[in-house]
Amino acid sequence: MSERIPVKDVTPVKVHQPDSSNQSIRYSSNNRIYVRSVSGPLETFRRYFGFIFLGLFALLPWISYNNQQAILFDLAEQRFNLFALTLWPQDLTLLAYIFIVAAFALFFVTTFAGRVWCGFMCPQTTWTYMFTWIEEKVEGSRHQRMALDQRPLDTDKFVRKTFKHLLWVLLALLTALTFVGYFTPIAALFTNFFTFNTGFWTTTWVIFFAACTYGNAGWMREIMCTHICPYARFQSVMFDKDTLTVAYDVSRGERRGPRPRKIPHSELASKGLGDCIDCNLCVQVCPTGIDIRNGLQYECINCGACVDACNGVMEKMNYPKGLIRFSSEAQLQGGTTKILRPKLVGYAFVLVVMLGILIANFLLRSSLEVDIIRDRNSLYRETNDGLIENVYTIKILNKSQQRRQYHIDIEGLPDYRFTGEQQISVKGGEIFSIPVSIATDAYNLNAPVTEIHFKVSTQTEEGDMVTVLEPTNFLYR
């Protein structure tokens, strides 16, 4: 019992992470992550994929539909225009269903392919890459940027830094203007902003979002992903052994170490070497500064930059590609990846169900909404000719974007007299209020409270009739 059991320290040591031993310089320019540019199929796909969504973001608010901005979230008027569709506060359930569908779509994709949302579609990642691209074009490659930050301030450094930040501010400002343009008419916004004619709150929001973009993509970068974004924290509950993630093949890569290129791949095993040459390129291209060789880490955003970097090295060394690749834990352990599994099928089932409910709500959604408000000053009154009269206010909401004609009738009350307009015209997206009175002989009333219905009908542009029956009460005694 005197023999000690040998213990091996397997605590992962992350390479190229900020040094937390000195908090005063933790986020200084000399301790930041310098991302190296990389080329490859995944990087090319990510760039073009990002350009598509970036183009949609920039162009959508400029598209017109029916002589108005096609996509406009008008908070002041409390309506959202989405081409031919107008959503009102009464359509809040539709917005809730949209968010539920988006959430389960994200859960499904994450269970299947890991954090590809973070690596390929997240706005933080997209704008960070754009800011990094500007930085690289102005200040040079990774090594040149590191050398520039270590130099004392001189004319060249001042000019480069100033020009970089001016471009950052310009990009952030254009981003903020475009984003605010989804909530206010964008053409007028750009004109008024650059002529200093915007209102206080509009200017405040533009400056606020510009400052957020500049700070998040220019300075915070990976801190947003590793410390602020909650998605990185709860993503692990959606992972399983069959989830595809960016992974390092330990059995093939170890023992890592440098070696001359002339050693053929077939002789590596006899020399006790794996395929990894310990070049650290996978670390240098990582936007969050992690070493993927330490295993799965919550900081990894599945962007695939390390995959392209490693494949490039393997190609130069005449080694097989795929030392770092999109793979599952089961596959790395020698098994096979199961596509159909309970968790993935469950997410897919719920996604399809919620998508069906969302589509059904859209299809069954009426373009007309009616609200009846009784006159609260008197329950009823008797007219000069002996009739019992109730007074109402009818509110008609035209949810379409075209002017429509509406006809008002009463059901459930025999031999009534209608005082007020029965044929009205309401503009698209307008709430029209009209006071009316309904009178009838007391002999037609069998109870103090009689339920009646206001029938409001209209004809759509396609020729379909839309009718709404809104119940209310006719009071007597």
CATH number, domain of 395, equals 2.60.40.10
Residue ending a domain, among 203, 220, 237, is 220
Cβ neighbours of 66 (radius 10 Å): 12
Distance CA 304, CA 292 (A): 11
| Single-letter amino acid code for the residue at 470 | E
Cα distance between residue 276 and residue 93, in whole Å: 53
Q: What is the 8-class DSSP label of residue 177?
A: H
With respect to residue 74, please indicate whether it lies within any of the assigned structural domains. yes
| Tens digit of each residue's pLDDT (9 = 90 or more) over 170-217 | 999 999 999 999 999 999 999 999 999 999 999 999 999 999 999 999
Return the SS3 of 473: strand
**Tokens read off for 454:** 């206001």
pLDDT of residue 26: 43
Q: Does residue 141 fall inside a structural domain?
A: yes
Q: Residue 138 falls within a domain, yes or no?
A: yes
Could you tell me whether strands 71-74 and 79-82 are parallel, antiparallel, or unpaired per DSSP bridges? antiparallel
- The verdict on residue 238 lying in a domain is no
CA–CA dist 474, 290 (Å, integer): 72
Domain around 67: 34-87+122-220
Confidence of residue 378 (pLDDT cuts 50, 70, 90): confident
DSSP states of 190-222: HHHHHTT---HHHHHHHHHHHHHHIIIIIIITH
pLDDT tens for each residue of 116-166: 899 998 999 999 999 999 999 999 999 999 999 999 999 999 999 999 999
Residue 352 burial (CB count, 10 A): 13
> Residue 472's closest CA among 374, 333, 358?
374
* 17 band by pLDDT with thresholds 50, 70 and 90: very low
- CA distance linking residue 439 with residue 360, whole number of Å: 40
- CB half-sphere exposure, 385, CA atoms < 13 A: 5
Long-range contacts of residues 457-461, Cβ cutoff 8 Å, at least 24 apart: 457/406, 457/407, 457/409, 458/368, 458/404, 458/405, 458/406, 458/407, 459/404, 459/405, 460/367, 460/400, 460/404, 461/402
What contacts 169, CB < 8 A, 6 or more positions away? 210, 214
Q: pLDDT tens across 253-289, in order?
A: 999 999 988 888 888 988 889 999 999 999 999 999 9
**127: exposed, middle or buried (Cβ count in 10 Å: 0-12, 13-18, 19+):** buried
Asked if residue 431 belongs to a domain, the reply is: yes
Residue 270: both structure tokens together:
């006899």
pLDDT beyond 70 at 23: no
Strands (E) located in 290-365: 324-327
Amino acid in the structure at residue 434: I
Strand partners, 256: none
Task: From 235, 269, 267, select the one nearest 252 (Cα to Cα).
Answer: 269
Q: Given 195, 220, 245, which residue is the final one in a domain?
A: 220
Q: How far is CA 31 from CA 16, 140, 146, 224, 443, in A?
A: 9, 18, 10, 17, 90
Tokens read off for 142: 């990774």
Residue 79: other Cβ atoms inside 10 A? 18
pTM (predicted TM-score): 0.80
pLDDT band of 4, cuts 50, 70, 90: low
Looking at residue 281, the DSSP 8-state letter turns out to be H
The sign one gets for the Cα dihedral 439, 441, 445, 448 is: positive
Separation of alpha carbons 166 and 218, rounded Å: 12
Percent of the chain with pLDDT over 70: 94
> How many domains does the chain contain in total?
2
Judge whether 67 and 58 are in contact, CB under 8 Å: no
169 sits in which H/E element = helix 155-180
Portion of the chain with pLDDT greater than 90, in percent: 63
Query: CA–CA separation, 375 vs 260, rounded Å?
Result: 92
Q: Looking at residue 63, what is its pLDDT?
A: 94
Rg (CA), the chain: 33
Residue 246 pLDDT: 94
Length of the chain: 477
94 in a structural domain: no
Q: Does residue 99 fall inside a structural domain?
A: no
In a domain, 5, yes or no: no
Domain boundary, last residue among 220, 239, 255: 220
- The whole-number average pLDDT for the span 304-328 is 94
Task: Give 241's DSSP letter.
Answer: T
